Amino acid sequence: MTISELVKASGATLKVFDMGRRIQLLDSRVFEQIEELRHPYPSPYLKHAWLGLLSCHTSNPGQNGIWFLKLPLDEQNLLEPASRDAFVRYCAERMKTGDLSEKGEAPFSFKPDANRMAYFHALASRELGAESSRFYGIARAYLSGDMGWDNWQQLGLQGLAEVVASLGQDDNQALLAQAVPYMPTVPLNVVLGFLENQAPDQLLTSAINDRLAAVIKSGATPADLAAFARALSHSQNIQQRRLLLQALLQHHESRSVEVLAAVSSRCWADLEGSLLVSFLETLAHNEQGQDAFTALVGDMMTLPGMRHRMLKAFSDESRSEQLDASIRALFQMVTGTVQ
């Protein structure tokens, strides 16, 4: 029995959220195919499927259940069924008591951090048609400038998460665009973190780019650069996204693993051709050495279409001696032979 079949047997419907590289709704039919091993997981992260599962009882909302699962994948990004089966057995035992709500420690479960939990709840509530929390109005009041930009301590993560999860409502994109130039670093970085799950429009993208330019001029930290890279990783302006990546890779802090991990895990769709070679050159010179190179390249290799791109970049004749040495060390570790 699969998770999908188990939830249906309980009289509920299942909503599945990808909790890995970005938090987004996963088509239930695709998830059924994933469970049946007929479809690879579309966005693996660290060789796992990171899932948020919401079982919805429309007639009895109090029986809604939430689980966060980290299920291992094989080399083809197919689900390893033993982990799924262990979770199903756990839930089947819980069903005997008539309670599928989240209590206790399910097999292969994980706990998202506070920011990701806030965004998940914002997105799940929107999918269920629930009303916004009281923090939503407070967040919008702050972003309008009415509360004063320095009075951010009273903001809740939930309110900012709900604003970003609802970019298409209440003119929230424009609201954020006008707030980005003025927000202090702490609330700004929270918003940037949530935006990795969205596709900012041109107006918001331009505001974020302008703020990034100002931050770089005043002295950007690796955490700053990583936050901006994540926020614009799915911007609707592809050309601007790629120009941003080129600029980031030329920054003196780009050798930080924090920056490189943000680029490889969130901006991978834009890494191809010369841009991918530039990324690999920077990665080969990263501050933590070969282990970081091997880890980030290994993770990227699991992504759809990236293996072909990566192997093509590895053969680029313009590669530096350092990159060539890093590639050789990678192949030696993988195959046990010197390439």
Q: How many helices (H) and strands (E) does the chain have?
A: 16, 4
At 83-101, the pLDDT tens digits run: 999 999 988 887 776 555 5
Distances from the Cα of 257 to the Cα of 18, 223, 249, angstroms: 24, 10, 12
Please give the average per-residue pLDDT across 273-282, as a whole number.
96
pLDDT at 100 (0 to 100)? 52
Amino acid residing at 222: P
Torsion angles phi and psi, residue 160, rounded to 5: -65, -40
- For residue 312, what are its two tokens? 């093509």
pLDDT at 154 (0 to 100)? 85
Please give the average per-residue pLDDT across 139-148, as a whole number.
95
Domain ranges in the chain are: 3-95, 114-335
At 52-70, the pLDDT tens digits run: 999 987 766 666 789 999 9
pLDDT at 56 (0 to 100)? 86
Highest average pLDDT, of 47-51, 90-94, 248-252, comes from 47-51
pLDDT at 129 (0 to 100)? 87
At 176-211, the pLDDT tens digits run: 999 999 999 999 999 999 999 999 999 999 999 999
* Residue 336 reports pLDDT greater than 80: no
- For residue 30, what are its two tokens? 């695709």
- For residue 149, what are its two tokens? 């930009």
* Residue 125 reports pLDDT greater than 60: yes
The Cα 16–Cα 51 span in angstroms is: 7
Amino acid residing at 293: F
The Cα 225–Cα 237 span in angstroms is: 19
pLDDT at 101 (0 to 100)? 52
Look-up of token digits 């930080």:
256
Classify burial at 201, counting beta carbons within 10 Å of its beta carbon; exposed 0-12, middle 13-18, buried 19 or more: middle
At 291-323, the pLDDT tens digits run: 999 999 999 999 999 999 999 999 999 999 999
Mean of the per-residue pLDDT values of the chain: 92
**Where do runs of H (alpha helix) occur along 66-218?**
81-95, 114-127, 134-143, 157-165, 172-179, 185-195, 202-218
Share of the chain above pLDDT 90, in %: 81
The Cα 284–Cα 287 span in angstroms is: 9
Give DSSP secondary structure letters for 170-192.
TTHHHHHHHHTTT--HHHHHHHH
The Cα 124–Cα 146 span in angstroms is: 29
pLDDT at 63 (0 to 100)? 67
pLDDT at 338 (0 to 100)? 46
pLDDT at 339 (0 to 100)? 46
pLDDT at 258 (0 to 100)? 96
